[in-house]
Chains A and B, each alone.
Chain A
């Protein structure tokens, strides 16, 4: 029991670890709050979009690449950067492609476009005047 207690103390005793845990817990609540408002119609883009967001592990891969010494670490680092790039680039591109397809009813779109057209016309006239 003492052993386990010591380990726990050492685990928690690291510099900044409590701050990081705080951020972790708060981020979890933000994530739950934001994601529970996503309608089921957008669940596939949600999955691929959140998939893209964890691709930011690329930042980690790059920063570890800066510290890498020796062949083994360089090879692993190269691999990590490559995999993370696949994740972040592919994730955002495919999500954009999907979301581009989600369109409102044509008549509503037409109305919206006419409105913008009118506004820009009005602006043009205004400028001319």
Chain B
């Protein structure tokens, strides 16, 4: 020891963890603007790397060769799987990817709690009640998040139907499982018997599954954001178990962010969170959906040439994209159209509904992928303020998010949902595959509006024809 001052290694480690906490907060703060977001995320990654590296200075890990080697192998394997998946996944598949990464995080948090419990048990210690409480919370929230995310993944990947799955007595069964878990939590806390923890683990996995099954369609974005929040809280619970401030803060930051996003999403859909989670929205309406495509009413069908002329001589065009745009992989073609119009001196912008796409903000990512500059992406309120001075509203693969029934029909399932007021524009062009209703399964009055022209067909084909028509105009 030649240094005059020696700082215990544990203190250094805690200080590095504190640095990582600051890095994570700055990473989230960076997301306040597209300009700084990437740098913020890189700072967050560096903070995580630093914290993980510092963890290897733990004496317990350093001095147990077998454990150290196993940990390193597990990390290398994890990185080998994660990097290619993260680099190659299609942007349209982003919701599934977030769901699965979220699920594995929840699973890891649950496992940590279980191992800690086994460890204490094998040492012959009867854990203090507060330790049991922390462990139980970690197991419960982590497992619900794990199995819930797994089912959300399977639904989004369309391995099973994306629609709500319902069966008789569903809510009663869910409630019973919830009550059983609650009762077991109390019993496990009072008796301190670890056998109950495994029963709770099993029931929690079931709860995650049956909780997610009845949630489908457009409600899934809200669900993913809620599950993200759950995993954050499970990680915070692990932090309590392991006496680790870094996990407590990082987990809580994410828990809070998930809850905020969930609230923003549900208000963007004009519905309450309980309604989204428990009402199996869309399931019942599909059954009565036969009347939706009312054949007796006529719509005006146009051709690409005329619409091309209309667009080319407009002053101001607003493009309103929906998930249909992404499904047709037409985000690049829509940008070509926008470029062609801009070249003709037309003022083009995009109006993005907060729930357009399949996760919060999904449409912005898809358009950014097609090199649309973010300054042309307008949020709903901005776009609505300018709608009455807009010559053409071009609706591409969107439906429910422009349905005026949200304002005019009190009985409608989407009544009260904030929408993009495409009906206020001078002309409305709908690019749609058919007259089929959207996720909410309801008819759209705007299709029959006298200002509306329909262009049926695959969005990508139609857009290509429009690009050509604009060039000729």
Contacts and interface: CB of A to CB of B under 8 A. Distances in A.
B112 A64 contact: yes
A89 B79 contact: yes
Majority secondary structure of chain A interface residues (helix, strand, loop or mixed): helix
Nearest to B66: A74
Contacts, number: 393
Given A35-B260, A45-B37, A66 B79 contact: no
Contact of B374 (A11, A77, A102): A102
Interface in A10-44: 10-14, 16-17, 20, 23-24, 27-32, 34-44
A27 B253 contact: yes
Task: Give the interface size bracket for B toward A.
Answer: 35 or more
B232 A50 contact: yes
Given A47-B228, A54-B235, A83-B78, A17 B112 contact: no
Contact of B27 (A28, A53, A78): A53
B32 A56 contact: no
Given A14-B131, A31-B257, A42-B37, A68 B362 contact: no
A93 interface: yes
B51 A59 contact: yes
B250 A53 contact: yes
B48 interface: yes
Contacts of A13: 130
Interface residues of A, number: 90
B359 A40 contact: no
A81 B130 contact: no
A7 B24 contact: no
Contact of B48 (A10, A17, A88): A88
Contacts of A81: 70-71, 74-75, 78, 108
B105 A84 contact: yes
Contacts of A27: 236, 248-249, 252-253, 256
A45 B55 contact: no
Contacts of B109: 57, 60
Nearest to B47: A56
A62 B49 CA distance: 13
B27 A49 contact: yes
Given A40-B379, A56-B250, A92-B45, A61 B67 contact: no
Contacts of B70: 65, 74, 77-78, 81
A96 interface: yes
B56 interface: yes
A24 B236 contact: yes
Interface in B336-368: 352, 354, 357, 359-362, 364-365, 368
A67 B67 CA distance: 9
Interface string B218-244: 000000110010011001101111111
Contacts of B377: 41
Given A79-B111, A84-B78, A7 B189 contact: yes
B368 A51 contact: no
B231 A93 contact: no
13 contacts: A17-B240, A20-B239, A23-B245, A37-B29, A42-B364, A44-B359, A54-B105, A60-B241, A66-B58, A66-B60, A66-B61, A101-B369, A105-B375
